[in-house]
Amino acid sequence: MKMHVCLVSGQPVPNVLPVLLERPEKVALLVTPEMQEQAERLKNIFRARAIQISVYEIPAYDFAGALAACDAVVQQSQADELTLNVTGGTKITALAAYQQFYFSGKRVIYMDTEHEQLLELGDQPTAMPVRQNLLDVKLCLACYGKRFNEAGTRSKIDTARRRKAATEKLCRLFLNNPDMLRACNRQLNEYDKKEPPVFLYVNNLPGPGTELFDLLVQEGIAVPSGADTLCLQSEAARFYLNGGWLEEYVFNLIKGLSINGLDCLLNVNFEWQIQRAASKKKKTENELDVVFSCNNRLHIISCKTSSLDILKNAGKDALHELDSMKANVGGLFARPLLVSVHPLKDADFRRAQNLKIPVVSGNNILHLQERLQQEWGIGR
């Protein structure tokens, strides 16, 4: 039987991709004490695909001990066709594993995620492009121990697709009238954490309030409550007008791109555990506004309609939140993007550059497709 031997590390994607690509019947995990939790995640992923799992402990910084652990795998698997995936682990374990497997005449591979290719190391090295998107959003999140409500997410997607045309109109209306958006958000924020109904007084809005009134009534998002007042009868309607429209606009735009193997989701609510003390963990609920996978990478887009250019620390907080989210749900290989109706302050824009987070704001949102091509080379 074919067996992959993986060095478990904090970046699971290079462990998972070659297994999905080559479909071995068995996987052996070389696990240091620090990587036990990550090993459990990999075991769950592989067992769901009917792959036999074996686990070997390996010391992180003891070269002789690491050699012995690798030799045990080779000796106990002589009937199997072994392939070492040397991508993960510490430098010590990777060097020990490469030496042991190479001089035992075993195949050695390295997953070059950055350049989307699988490298075969040895006397005649080769590089095989990985063109198929093997990681959907669900699997990307599972690699980092995250789960989400698929049924709830799919329902939101159906709604977003159904009112795509209305969302595009609303997006253009607000982008061309940012002061009207600010005033609208101020009114809606007064109802934060209150039960519906929510009332919006159109006459108090600067800009084409009548156009906004007619659009929301026509699309069934709000109902009239007097000549110049709109009534939002559900929390979903309030959420949509208070910023959900931007998330839906971005989602629909990405869904319309020609991207091979695209998996794109909207409003993904998930739980993850953060370490608070040596023996205590706390569950934290988070939401990904728009998230998609292509080219075996997770792409995370945060959408903001609040006044990041005025509110104190709002831009800084939004950037650090996105950077933290990227690290926790996608690791080194995830790509973040901030989409904001209002421009960032100069200091926050420099902060975004330092964090390597691209920012699209104002009317440039209408040209988001071109920016995705520029930043990530997708959607061409």
Q: What are the pLDDT digits (tens) for 154-212?
A: 889 999 999 999 999 999 999 999 999 999 999 998 887 788 899 999 988 888 989 99
pLDDT at 277 over 50: no
Query: How many domains in the chain?
Result: 3
Identify whether residues 32 and 80 lie together within a single domain.
Answer: yes
> What was the pLDDT predicted at 268?
93
What CATH number should be reported for the domain holding residue 320? 3.40.1350.10
Q: Quick check: 213 and 202 in contact, CB under 8 A?
A: yes
Looking at the domain assignment, is residue 220 inside a domain?
Answer: yes
Q: What is the pLDDT of residues 328-365, one digit of tens each?
A: 898 888 999 999 999 999 999 999 999 999 999 999 99
Tell me the whole-structure pTM to 2 decimals. Answer: 0.90
The answer to whether residues 23 and 97 belong to one domain is yes
Rounded Cα–Cα distance for residues 222 and 237 (Å) = 7
Quote the domain boundaries for residue 94: 2-130
Please tell me whether residues 174 and 267 are part of one structural domain. Answer: no
pLDDT averaged over every residue in the chain: 92
Strands 359-361 and 229-232: unpaired
Task: Write down the pLDDT at residue 286.
Answer: 82
260, 331: one domain: yes
pLDDT recorded at residue 380: 60
pLDDT band for position 256 (cuts 50, 70, 90): very high
Would you state the pLDDT for residue 237?
94
Looking at the structure, do residues 81 and 33 belong to the same domain, yes or no?
Answer: yes
Structure confidence at residue 285 (pLDDT): 62
Q: Count CA atoms closer than 13 A to 90's CA, side-chain side.
A: 14
Handedness of CA 300, 304, 308, 312 (dihedral sign): negative
- Whether 279 has a pLDDT exceeding 60, the answer reads no
